[in-house]
Structure 1
Amino acid sequence: MQAPTKISAIIVMGVSGSGKSTIAAALAKHIGFACEDGDSYHPASNVAKMHAGTPLTDEDRWPWLQAIADDIDRRAATGRPFVVSCSALKRAYRDVLVHGRPDVRLVYLKGTRDLIAERLTLRKGHFMPASLLDSQFATIEEPTVDENVVVVDIDAPVDRIVATIADRLRMSPEPGSLAS
């Protein structure tokens, strides 16, 4: 039996409003990894388009996805594991991010359109308007088992979602965290 691969990066993915940033931050704290919000890798032109309610095209996304993939490689090379939130809606996007690395894991936050729409209406100050939710659901290609993915239902409290993810990834809480 082969030893499990050490995890260098965990990509928390899903449509806008699924809780990616919240879960990524809580998971990172729980397991003692650094955390990055995938939105911070977007160029200003992408943020402006989304803020205006214009869906991004694949051409808009490729440089953003490659910037995240490059950061995964840099951090893995220096032994600095991290959790990053990123919508990663299409298989082709996830292929760019993971690029065959067995040390990169996907966590898909899955929820109903109604639940996510409700959450989006409560969210303040985010550049991604609720009006783009339908385009996100039209675009998403749910990950398949061959993508080494953990699928988690988002209709639960944050601490339960994080504990479920950590358990499925076989990762222990960081000493001193609330779960230890």
Structure 2
Amino acid sequence: MRLPWLQILAQAARKAARKQGCAVVSCSALKQSYRDLLISETGRARVVLLHGTRAAILKRMAVRENHYLPTSLLDSQLETLEMPNPQEKKVFAVNADSASEKVFELVQKTLKNTLAPPRQYP
């Protein structure tokens, strides 16, 4: 069910990157197979996987406006999550428990440093 949607998303990212020089997409690529598909379909994509504690994620979800995912689905999302493994060379995990500004800073550093090996950021 997700496969066609992920393929469309990857195609849109590839098209935008060709036109603009780069592209950023956001989705819940919780499984390695989803991330692998996005990377292979786009070619040079890197994935930043935001993760955090249940409490921190729940707190952020509770204050979002017009968000389609109800907080009642958080536990199933966390159960589905496959954290990146060392073989996922283009996947960077960033802890999102910090303030939004700090998370944004970590993501920017991750994406700017193209020579950095994939790793977990605090």
| TM-score, structure 1 as length reference | 0.55
How many angstroms does 1:82 deviate by? 1.3
Tell me which protein shows more strand as a share of its residues: 1
Q: Provide structure 2 residue ranges, at least 5 long, that are not aligned to the other structure.
A: 114-122
SS in 2 for 1:145: coil
User: Which of 31, 42, 61 is residue 90 of structure 1 equivalent to?
Assistant: 31
Identity rate of aligned residues, in percent? 39
**Rounded Cα–Cα distance in structure 1 between residues aligned with 2:44 and 2:111:** 11
Supply the AA of the counterpart residue of 1:128: L
Aligned mates of 1:96, 1:110 — CA distance in 2: 20
Residue type at the aligned position of 1:93: Y
State whether residues 11 and 42 of structure 2, in contact with CA within 8 Å, keep that contact through their aligned partners in structure 1: no
Q: Structure 1 residue runs of 4+, over 6 Å off? A: none
Root-mean-square deviation over aligned CA pairs: 2.0
Residue 79 of structure 1, CA deviation: 4.7
Q: Deviations over 1:41-63 (max 9, x none)?
A: xxxxxxxxxxxxxxxxxx2x112
One-letter code aligned to 1:134: D
Gaps of 5+ in 1: 1-58, 172-180
Amino acid at match of 2:86: V
Do the aligned residues in 1 keep the contact of 2:61 with 2:71 (CA within 8 Å)?
yes
The CA distance in 1 between the partners of 2:110 and 2:11, in whole Å, is 26
Q: Distance in 1 between matches of 2:110 and 2:58?
A: 27
Match of 1:161 in 2: 103
Aligned residue runs from structure 1 range 112-131, under 5 A:
112-131=53-72
- Give the counterpart letter for 1:151 in structure 2: A
8 Å contact from structure 2 (residues 14, 23) kept in 1: no
Matched residues, number: 112
Name which structure has the greater RCO, CA cutoff 8 Å, separation 6+: 1
Q: Is the 8 A contact 2:48 2:92 kept in 1?
A: yes
